[in-house]
Each structure stands twice: as C-alpha cells, then as structure tokens.
Amino acid sequence: MIEIAPYRHLAIVPLLAVALASIVAAVIVLHFAALRFRRRRLYLSAAALGVLCALASGAFWSSRHAGTGTQTAWGWPRMIYGRWVSWEVVQRQEGVRWQGIIENTVFYGAVALLAGSLVLAARRGSAGSAPRATGQDRGGAT
C-alpha cells in the first residue's frame, strides 16, 4: 500500500472538471478519427478500465489523527473505503463508500477514454499518411 497525505484527496469539483474536459476532448478526437464500431468498443473498454482502476485505487491510503480518534481512508482521488477508530470509547466505524467508487470510476474512465481516443487517432493518422505503393515502386510498369 502507498500512503498519501490526507489533503491529497481531490474535491469533487476539480475531479469532475478534469473528467468532463477529458470526455469532451475524447469525443472530439473520436468524431474526426475513429470509425463508429471502434468508438463503441472504446467506450465499453474505458468504462471497464475505469471500474478496475477505481477499485485498484484502494492501494492508496491516508491517515489523520483528530482529537478523538484516527481516520484512515483508502482510494485516490476520492475515498472508496474509510475507517474511524475512536480513542475515547471502544468504537470503530468502517465501510465501503459507494459514491467514491462511482466518482473514481468516472475519473479513471474519462482519462482512459481520452488516452484510447488519442491512440486510435494516432493509429489512423499513421496508417493514412503511409505512402501508397504504385506499380513503379514494385518494379512494374503502369
């Protein structure tokens, strides 16, 4: 597990701003660069990768001490699992934060969509810019 500072958990507004900008950029790139069936497949792949990355973000954790106990949170950029242990009374509260999983899925899915769209555009651009072979290039007459 990798410890991060408690203040490294992003607020929802910057997180959604990055996700929305990534999605808009990806849609624009895909509109000009990819075939329709590749877009659908990329959308599904990005959603699946977003879920996997959101769950894998549980490897990042942070801990902070308050006057009455310790709070530990797992997940980045948003918390997906949290635990509160009180110092004053024998009490522990812990559980999965489903909203955090959804928020991380949107963030990681948007970034995966942007990366995938750029890869598709680069592949299509490099395939379209390759010189065509003519009969003269092969040694034959045209």
pLDDT digits (tens, 9 = 90+) for 89-139: 888 889 999 999 999 999 999 999 999 999 988 887 666 555 555 555 555
The pLDDT score that the predictor gives to residue 62 is: 86
Looking at residues 56-74, what average pLDDT do you find?
Answer: 88
Q: Which residue has the tokens 């996997």?
A: 52
**Per-residue model confidence (pLDDT) at position 45:** 95
Number of other CB atoms surrounding residue 87 within 10 Å: 12
User: Pick from 37, 12, 25: which is nearest to 111 by CA?
Assistant: 25
Residue holding tokens 């308050």? 66
Query: Could you give the residue ranges of the DSSP H alpha helices within the chain?
Result: 12-33, 36-56, 98-128
Q: Is the model more confident about 24 or about 71?
A: 24
**pLDDT at residue 13, as a whole number:** 86
Amino acid 136: pLDDT:
54
**In the chain, where are the structural domains located?**
2-126
**Per residue in 5-53, pLDDT tens?**
655 667 888 888 999 999 999 999 988 876 666 788 999 999 999 999 9
Determine the average pLDDT of the residues in 76-87. 90
- What pTM did the predictor assign? 0.78
- Pseudo-torsion of CA 104, 105, 108, 109, nearest 10°? -160
Residue 64 confidence (pLDDT)? 85
Pick 132 or 79 by higher pLDDT: 79
Q: With bands split at pLDDT 50, 70 and 90, how would you rate the model's confidence at 87?
A: confident
Higher pLDDT, 81 or 11: 81
